[in-house]
Amino acid sequence: MTTTPIALTRANTILYCQNWEETVHFYRQLLCFPVAFENDWFVEFHLVGSNYLSIAQAARATIAAVAGQGVTLTWQVEDLEGVERFLHRQGIATTPIRRKWNARVLYCYDPEGHRLEFWANHIGQSAAPEEGVRG
């Protein structure tokens, strides 16, 4: 494995949102992500290990919102069917589970339009037929 001189110790993705309250509600109440930090315009969610996701109110930030364009957040999970059932119970619409890139994936969108990809290693033939490229 190649090493890099940049020794990262933490990763944080920041989404700048126009629909800030709805998007924070989505991640906090519907996905049940734990809050690591928050103030009146910025909420940081702890995902796993040293990985975080932050939701910033675009009107209060120096970076404009992109309305989800060009952004896919992709997260590996152990039990994709369990995630699908949970999302549906929470009222979140998803795509059917499909096979892509030798994995099984499903997609949904947050209120700002960011695409979320949940994926698991491909085991068995329970997903729909393989599609060309993930994305």
Has residue 4 been placed in a domain?
Answer: no
On whether residue 51 sits in a domain, the answer given is yes
In this structure, what CATH number is given to the domain that contains residue 61? Answer: 3.10.180.10
Residue pair 109/103 in contact by the 8 Å Cβ criterion:
no
Q: Report how many domains make up the chain.
A: 1
In a domain, 6, yes or no: no
Q: What is the pTM for the complete model shown?
A: 0.86
For the ranges 13-17, 43-47, 125-129, the lowest mean pLDDT is seen at 125-129
Quick: pLDDT tens for 24-36.
Answer: 999 999 999 999 9
Determine, yes or no, domain membership for 3: no
Sheet with 11-17, side-by-side order of all strands: 11-17, 51-57, 42-48, 35-38
Residue 1 lies in a domain: no
Query: DSSP code of 85?
Result: H
CA dist 60 and 114 (Å) reads 19
Domain span at 62: 11-131
For 54-110, write each residue's pLDDT tens digit: 999 999 999 888 888 889 999 999 999 999 999 999 999 999 999 998 899 999 999
